Amino acid sequence: MRSSLIEAIVAASRPTTLPVVERFPLKGSDGKLYCGDMPSGVSYTGERGTPYYVAQASNGSTVGKRFASREECESWQRSCADARAQEMREFLETADEYTLARQAKHWKCLDEAKHLRWVYGVLPEQAERD
């Protein structure tokens, strides 16, 4: 039961993969490439630089590193999510029952945690008195 609860929490806490978008640096009248606003006095020449790929947050901003291909960016996101999932798994494997129950509540994995007394509001100090 403990291992299935840990895996449920790990799955629920896994970060979602962000959409990958293609972006182009734009060439300014000073001959430099810009990603975003150009400095005062510099205007867009109509030329674009080499495209790159980056993850895009729900608010439209781009996050993370730039990649030469969509596949590289998606692979990087998956490897980051895998590393975070492994860190969470290692933390949960050494956690006490109370911590597991709190994590189950936080990540809404209550069905998998129903065997833990703490989920139903019994605090460790109350359990010791029972």
Q: How confident is the model at residue 112 (pLDDT cuts 50, 70, 90)?
A: low
Q: Report yes or no on 94 lying in a domain.
A: yes
Residues 6+ apart with CB under 8 A from 21: 53, 54, 55, 56, 62
Containing structural domain, residue 85: 2-123
Whether residue 129 is contained in a domain is answered as no
Q: Does pTM top 0.75 for this prediction?
A: no
The total number of structural domains that make up the chain: 1
Give the helix, strand, coil percentages of the chain, each rounded to 5: 45, 20, 40
**pLDDT tens digits, one per residue of 77-111:** 999 999 999 999 999 999 988 888 888 888 877 66
Residue 130, pLDDT score: 39
Share the mean pLDDT of the chain.
Answer: 84
Q: Does residue 6 sit within a domain? A: yes
Residue 73 located in a structural domain: yes
Task: Answer whether residue 128 is part of any domain.
Answer: no
